[in-house]
Amino acid sequence: MAMAFKMATTGIRVTDECKSSFMEMKWKKVHRYIVFKIDEISKLVTIDKVGGAGEGYDDLAASLPYDDCRYAVLDFDFVTVDNCRKSKIFFIAWAPVASRIRAKILYATSKAGLRRVLDGISYEVQATDPTEMGLEVIRDRVK
Amino acid sequence: MYGGGNYTALSLSLSLSLSLGLTVIGCFVVDEVSAIVVDLGSHTCKAGYAGEDAPKAVFPSVVGSIVGSVDQSEVGDTVKNEKESDSIDSKNGTRPFDSDKTKAKRKLYVGSQALGYRRDHMEVLSPIKDGVVVDWDMVDNIWDHAFRFCLILFSCLLLLLISSRDRLLIDPKEHPMLLAEPSSNTPQQRERTAELMFEKYKVPALFLAKNAVLTSFASGRATSLVVDCGGGSTTIAPVHDGYVLQKAVASSPIGGELLTDCMLKSLESKGITIKPRYSFKRKETRPGEYQVVDTDFPNTTESYKLYSQRIISGDIKESVCRAPDTPYDENSYANIPMTPYELPDGQTIEIGADRFKIPDILFNPSIVQTIPGMETFADSSPPIRGLPQMVLDSINKCDVDIRRELFSSILLSGGTASMQMLKERLEKDLLEESPQAARVKVLASGNATERRFSVWIGGSILASLGSFQQMWFSKAEYEEHGTSYIQRKCP
């Protein structure tokens, strides 16, 4: 078993709240995005912020800290070339340059634990600065 | 950190660990007694404590060696007077890991200080060829040096913090060991390492982590393409979800040392002699005026002379070289302004086109052959590829689905990655040759220490994370399953 996978699945626990909120987002469309964080002491992945119905991509981008890592899921609405309204769920691993190396490694090695309980993610994005998860990048992926 | 309360808990858990076996060490003591992290590169060895942000000990990976024919006792005595802690007599002590050749009488010198002192007949040898260990006896000595260094520091720290009765803690037997290894390490090498660590150093727990994975994690990415420009070689390794994609790993023998040698040869061809530090004395004749007097040591070996010259030539390279924006060609760089550099003997030399030509070797290895004295290099088939080509080839060997992500997360690491403009040039070359849809992004830490030591730092933080403590290959597991179990514990 790959090292990171084992660390993420047996060394860190994902709270039930993370899973249920994601399900609400996926099925009931009540959230636009969810931001998750890790508490190193209790070794838990918990919910940091939930984006309500009126919010969107910009609000998510604004809620990611400048100097700490996070995970986020985003329900992205777009219109296809043949004028169909669609939505896809993105998983974003946010590890900004200004965050501590400890945080970067903790989040990089714990990702698989959260990722595997979130069923229904279409795309995954790693970002170390805002341009890597820019709206352009997101749009590019759903093309 | 080692306050009174903690001390009781620690000693309690230590005695528990003795009676209950290593599960306790794995879960608790490991958290408290920091692990030792060692990254043995082809040029430099980095060692220190887990959890810290830079290695405590950084010293050359080469070893000074004097072989038997000299009167052993005499050499031993003089050495003991000079620097006791740095000399290790490979003859003494139990040594179950002697390599195949018999080295009945060989004295090895490890560390910058021990090597900085010139000795008659001392050869400078490297235990690592093409990123892989060829001489285990030497590696053993380098590790020994690394642990000794850590031990001295650790004991000083302890003396300051707590009373001497805690000596138990400074025993190397209590430190789990995390070693960084090249992606190309063979199963045999890994088993040999495990055997040496458990049998000779009696470590309580061990972990081997791939260089590329550590670099990738240290930048916060589980997936990336790691370009490690090291001393002896350059390795390109794609990492996906924390796992090296072995079949797509590419490497070339072009690293910082080759560039250093090219600089040396090129200067020599222009009639400049680089005098090693030991070969002259500077006398102050009048205040501010110096006279250089050559000293004569006929018993100095060629390899020691070269080692000493490389130190100077390496510094010239680091001070003046810069990767050119476009491929190097003689004509456009013929009139480049000269940059002065002052050699240790006071002589000032001027470096022109070589400032750009030498770094360009990384991109275009065939120009090595235009340097006098280096003609035979890169004469192999298939020819050695340049950096951008290796990156493209490596990415193209990976699954189509992850190529896009790899293109946008190219991480530069290693000592040579600090070369000025290297990142910019690599990004530019890759933009020109990559598929249009790819967003090429080359990343390197803005912090020079982080870039140079990304592997070590990655290992240091990893080994200190709570979620990592279950990962150790413990002594109990070693005793139960044997050396080959390392392949399962540290895949």
- Residue recorded with tokens 């490389």: B310
Q: Do A102 and B461 touch (CB under 8 A)?
A: yes
From the list B439, B443, B461, the residue facing A105 with the nearest CB is: B461
Q: Taking the complete model, does pTM exceed 0.80, yes or no?
A: yes
Q: For residue A11, list chain B residues with Cβ-Cβ distance below 8 A.
A: 465-470
Q: What count of CB pairs under 8 Å joins A to B?
A: 106
pLDDT tens figures, B222-279: 999 999 998 888 999 999 999 999 999 999 989 999 999 999 999 999 999 899 989 9
**CATH architecture of the domain with residue range B256-378:** Alpha-Beta Complex (3.90)
Confidence of residue B203 (pLDDT cuts 50, 70, 90): confident
Question: What SS3 state is found at B234?
Answer: strand
pLDDT of residue B129: 65
pLDDT of residue B219: 92
- Judged by a CB distance cut-off of 8 A, whether residue B213 touches chain A is yes
Confidence of residue B59 (pLDDT cuts 50, 70, 90): confident
Minimal Cα–Cα distance from B418 to chain A, Å?
18
Give B275's Cβ-side CA count (13 Å radius): 20
Nearest CA in chain A to B223: A126
Confidence of residue B289 (pLDDT cuts 50, 70, 90): confident
How far, in Å, CA of B233 to CA of A116, rounded? 37
pLDDT of residue B379: 63
- Residue recorded with tokens 């040579």: B416
Q: Do B466 and A43 touch (CB under 8 A)?
A: yes
Interface test with B, best of A101, A110, A139, A140 (most B CBs within 10 A): A101
pLDDT of residue B65: 81
Model confidence at A142: pLDDT above 90: no
How far, in Å, CA of B188 to CA of B201, rounded? 19
pLDDT of residue A143: 81
Average confidence (pLDDT) over B335-359: 92
> Residue B206 pairs with which residues in a beta bridge?
B177, B473
- Range with lowest mean pLDDT among A49-53, B149-153, B297-301: B149-153
Model confidence at B6: pLDDT above 90: no
Overall number of domains in chain A: 1
- Judged by a CB distance cut-off of 8 A, whether residue B471 touches chain A is yes
The vertex-B334 CA angle with B333 and B337, nearest 5°, equals 80
Confidence of residue B62 (pLDDT cuts 50, 70, 90): confident
Q: Do A108 and B241 touch (CB under 8 A)?
A: no
pLDDT of residue B284: 81
Model confidence at A23: pLDDT above 70: yes
More confident residue, B106 or B389: B389
Q: Do A11 and B222 touch (CB under 8 A)?
A: no
Interface test with B, best of A14, A67, A102 (most B CBs within 10 A): A102
- Range with lowest mean pLDDT among B100-109, B228-237, B276-285, B404-413: B100-109
The vertex-B172 CA angle with B168 and B177, nearest 5°, equals 135
Minimal Cα–Cα distance from A102 to chain B, Å?
6
Q: Print the domain residue range for A136.
A: 4-141
Decide if B173 contacts B204 (C-beta within 8 A). Answer: yes
Model confidence at B86: pLDDT above 60: no
Average confidence (pLDDT) over B36-64: 85
> Residue B243 pairs with which residues in a beta bridge?
B240
Q: What is the mean pLDDT of chain B?
A: 78
Q: Do B53 and A109 touch (CB under 8 A)?
A: no
Q: For residue A114, list chain B residues with Cβ-Cβ distance below 8 A.
A: none
Model confidence at B19: pLDDT above 60: no
Model confidence at B91: pLDDT above 70: no
If you ran DSSP here, which 8-state letter would residue B471 be given?
A: G
- Judged by a CB distance cut-off of 8 A, whether residue B439 touches chain A is yes
Q: Do B468 and A106 touch (CB under 8 A)?
A: no
If you ran DSSP here, which 8-state letter would residue B182 be given?
A: -
Residue B171 makes CB contacts below 8 A (sequence gap 6+) with none
Q: Do A10 and B470 touch (CB under 8 A)?
A: yes
Model confidence at B21: pLDDT above 90: no
pLDDT tens figures, B116-165: 889 998 888 876 665 566 677 777 777 666 665 544 443 333 333 322 23
Work out the number of other CB atoms within 10 angstroms of the CB of residue B308.
Answer: 22
Minimal Cα–Cα distance from B262 to chain A, Å?
35
Model confidence at B420: pLDDT above 60: yes
Decide if B137 contacts B89 (C-beta within 8 A). Answer: no
Nearest CA in chain A to B491: A2
The vertex-B224 CA angle with B218 and B225, nearest 5°, equals 110
Distances (CA, A) of B61 to B41, B42, B104, B140, B431: 7, 6, 22, 11, 36
pLDDT tens figures, B477-487: 999 999 999 99
Model confidence at B45: pLDDT above 80: yes
From the list A101, A103, A110, the residue facing B467 with the nearest CB is: A110
Q: What would the two tokens of residue B211 be?
A: 């260089």
Q: What would the two tokens of residue B210 be?
A: 């791939």
* Torsions phi, psi for B322 (to 5 deg): -155, 135
Model confidence at B2: pLDDT above 60: no
From the list A11, A43, A104, the residue facing B219 with the nearest CB is: A104
- Judged by a CB distance cut-off of 8 A, whether residue B465 touches chain A is yes
pLDDT of residue B7: 34
Percent of chain B with pLDDT over 70: 77
The residue ranges of DSSP E strands in A31-69, in sequence order, are: 33-39, 44-51
- Range with lowest mean pLDDT among B80-94, B301-315, B457-471: B80-94
Model confidence at A3: pLDDT above 90: no
Q: Do B443 and A69 touch (CB under 8 A)?
A: no
pLDDT of residue B426: 96
Distances (CA, A) of B58 to B145, B198, B215, B430, B456: 11, 24, 18, 33, 11
Residue B467 makes CB contacts below 8 A (sequence gap 6+) with A7, A8, A11, A12, A43, A106, A109, A110
Cis omega (within 30 of 0) on the bond before B382?
yes
Q: Do A108 and B221 touch (CB under 8 A)?
A: yes
Q: For residue B443, list chain A residues with Cβ-Cβ distance below 8 A.
A: 128
Q: Do A43 and B467 touch (CB under 8 A)?
A: yes
How far, in Å, CA of A64 to CA of A127, rounded? 11
- Judged by a CB distance cut-off of 8 A, whether residue B447 touches chain A is no
The residue ranges of DSSP E strands in B176-268, in sequence order, are: 177-181, 205-210, 224-229, 234-240, 243-244, 250-252
Work out the number of other CB atoms within 10 angstroms of the CB of residue B43.
Answer: 22
> Residue B224 pairs with which residues in a beta bridge?
B239
* Chain centroid, CA A76 distance in Å: 12
Q: What would the two tokens of residue B490 be?
A: 């540290």
Q: Do B441 and A132 touch (CB under 8 A)?
A: yes
Position B347, amino acid: Q
Confidence of residue B448 (pLDDT cuts 50, 70, 90): confident
Q: What would the two tokens of residue B470 be?
A: 């279950």
* Domain range annotation of chain B: 256-378
Confidence of residue B381 (pLDDT cuts 50, 70, 90): low
Decide if B42 contacts B126 (C-beta within 8 A). Answer: yes
CATH code (residue A135): 3.40.20.10
